[in-house]
Amino acid sequence: MGSEELPFISIIVPARNEERNIERCVTSLLEQDYPGYEVIVVDDGSTDRTSELLDQIQQNHPQGGQLWILRLRDELPVGWAGKPHALHSGVLEASGSWLLFTDADTYHTPSALRSALTQAVTERMDLFTLATTQELPTFWERVLMPMAFMGISMLYPPRQVNDPASPTAIANGQFFLVRRAVYDAVGGYARPELRQTLLDDRDLARVIKDHGYRLHFVDGQDAVSVRMYTSLEETWRGWRKNSYLGNRGGLLFVCAQLIGLPMITFSPFLLPFLGKGLEKVLGGHLTAKERWFATGIELTPLLAYRIWINRQLAVPWYYALTHPIAGLVFTGIMGQSTWNILTGKGVDWRGRRYHQIEASNEPLHEKSQPAV
């Protein structure tokens, strides 16, 4: 596909208190080898140095003229959650025939936009989304993130997601490319059921697929990388937001998971030490060798799958031995997430709590671009 045939793309980045990530992300977006695009960063009421860093990039980067900064006030309009409102506000300012939604903690290689758009157009897709490289340098990231991705792949199998006949739909908000005409046709984040969603990528993908448009979720680990969380506390809060709301099958299924998760991730590692209890289950007396053999039968497929997931995420194989720790932590995360929703405590994220949204009706943003 020649440069003259490539459509103009609007890249929309919601950012709320992202001083740690914003410079790397926006710089990588401004250095794409794609000929026609704009970057719209929606500064969603940041109270840290995010706004200052954006101004510096806009003034000092050679491609700063392609960067627009949309500054929202901290108050939200009635009926909106923060991220869908930020994305919706960005779309209102966008002029591209394609929209790329991406997160502020991402890094994009120079060819990411061109290769993704070319594949999406060639395959005649309406929504094109990438699985990204996860940057996991610390202990807790390597322990917990593989478990999270195991859960997502089981709840949303990629084959079903990419099957037009299947209702299963999900997208990755770290790289979510959609035709503007399709976004407008389904109503985008202005749809009543999407205004308050805390799972903006999954829920918009579901609406788009439900309307008969084509969705493709592919491996893009060579194109985009992301570091989602940097500590146990951040990981807990991040997945606590999503684990109940992002589940499939309703409350009974979640309850089954709360019982089943420790049983399949923690209990098998106790088999060699259960002694008499194991003998009662299996009948008869078991020698130590027989107990270890039974343990091997139970653990081999589990550890093999975990090692395979680790390999996909570039995590050393021996972190599979931390699988029971990950299982217990995620049981706690899911339990607290479920409790917070069912008891009306709601979800806290980025300094906001979602269960009743109130805001003023004043104008919410101003737009700035450097003088040319």
Q: Which of 1-5, 80-84, 145-149, 222-226 has the lowest mean pLDDT?
A: 1-5
Q: How far apart are CA 112 and CA 171, in angstroms?
A: 17
Q: What's the chain's length in residues?
A: 372
Domains in the chain, CATH or no CATH each = 8-229+358-368 (3.90.550.10), 250-348 (no CATH)
Percent of the chain at pLDDT > 70 equals 86
Summary mean pLDDT of the chain = 88
Per-residue pLDDT band for 74 (boundaries 50, 70, 90) equals confident
Q: How far apart are CA 200 and CA 203, in angstroms?
A: 5
Nearest to 48 by CA among 84, 24, 25, 22: 22
The maximal CA–CA distance of the chain, rounded, in angstroms, is 84
pLDDT of residue 234: 93
222-262 per-position pLDDT tens digit = 999 999 999 999 999 999 988 888 887 788 888 888 888 88
276-330 per-position pLDDT tens digit = 555 555 555 656 665 656 566 667 888 899 999 999 999 999 999 999 999 999 9
Query: Is pLDDT above 90 for 140?
Result: yes
E-assigned strands of 45-183? 67-72, 98-101, 106-108, 127-131, 133-134, 176-179
Per-residue pLDDT band for 274 (boundaries 50, 70, 90) equals low
Whether pTM exceeds 0.85:
yes
Q: Which of 31-40, 47-56, 168-177, 255-264 has the lowest mean pLDDT?
A: 255-264
pLDDT of residue 261: 87
Per-residue pLDDT band for 146 (boundaries 50, 70, 90) equals very high
The sheet that has 365-368: what strands, in order across it?
Answer: 215-219, 127-131, 176-179, 98-101, 9-15, 37-44, 67-72, 365-368
- 263: CB partners within 8 A, 6+ apart: none
Q: Is 137 exposed, middle or buried (0-12, 13-18, 19+ CB in 10 A)?
A: exposed
Q: If you average pLDDT over residues 178-190, what whole number do you get?
A: 98
pLDDT of residue 118: 95
